[in-house]
Amino acid sequence: MTLQLPKFRDGMSIGIMGGTFDPIHLGHLVIAEEVRHQFKLDKVIFVPTGYPPHKKASNVTHPEHRYLMTVLATINNPHFVVSRVEIDNAKGFTYTIDTVRFFHNYFQGKAKIYFITGADAIMEILTWKDYAELFSICYFIAATRPGYSLNNLNKTIGSVCPQALERIQVLEIPAMQISSTLIRQRVADGKPIKYLTPDSVADYIMKNGLYRRREV
């Protein structure tokens, strides 16, 4: 199942929301919709990772499951699209720079691209592959909960790459104590996950037996 990427036109603004989505949950959707509204984005493209370099492959659910759950969670929002670019093209680990380059080229370098990530991740962006090039071809939106301090942003990033600060925007999102880790643990413990993730995703998890604790 492949969803059509938005066709190019001048002046487009596109959000890219990468993530493991293992599984996708309501917190992801709230962030994407809030960013879309605040920055007047034409589309938000969800990009499930193939096998992220910071996680062991054995600890990550198969990409096809994660892709299909992301499709189920986003299919009713006409502003959301799901891309298989990392899943289909992955020959090992997948990196943000490769994904951003793909969309930069796809939109002929003329669309304004925003990469949506969490505030914690943005604090470690200087460890990302080819981070300087990333800052030259896209903007970053650091989603954070109200009250989260980013006092170290200038100190951590500005001292090494001052021009990067002009490419980072911080957006507070209503606090939601939901995480993929929490959902996986609740499933393993036999606890309900209703209202933590869309019903279609919860049904998919149960139907396919994902995240259940395996007997030793």
How far apart are the C-alpha atoms of 156 and 168, rounded to whole Å? 13
Backbone angles phi, psi at 156, to 5 degrees: -75, -45
Residue 47 lies in a domain: yes
How far apart are the C-alpha atoms of 177 and 174, rounded to whole Å? 10
Paired with 114 in beta bridges are 15, 139
How far apart are the C-alpha atoms of 194 and 20, rounded to whole Å? 20
Domain that residue 110 falls in:
13-177
CATH number at residue 20: 3.40.50.620
pLDDT of res. 216: 46
Cα–Cα separations (whole angstroms), residue 19 to 46, 95, 117, 132, 158: 8, 11, 8, 21, 25
How far apart are the C-alpha atoms of 115 and 18, rounded to whole Å? 8
Residue 8 lies in a domain: no
Nearest Cα to Cα of residue 74 among 24, 18, 143: 24
How far apart are the C-alpha atoms of 124 and 41, rounded to whole Å? 25
Paired with 168 in beta bridges are 140
148 SS3 class: coil
Residue 196 lies in a domain: no
197 SS3 class: strand
Residue 198 lies in a domain: no
Count structural domains, the chain: 1
Residue 185 lies in a domain: no
Residue 95 lies in a domain: yes
User: Could you check whether the bond before residue 23 is cis, i.e. omega within 30 degrees of 0?
Assistant: yes
Residue 4 lies in a domain: no
A 10 A CB-CB count for 147 gives 7
Is pTM beyond 0.85? Reply is: yes
Residue 64 lies in a domain: yes
pLDDT < 50 positions in the chain: 1-2, 216
pLDDT of res. 209: 96
How far apart are the C-alpha atoms of 162 and 184, rounded to whole Å? 39
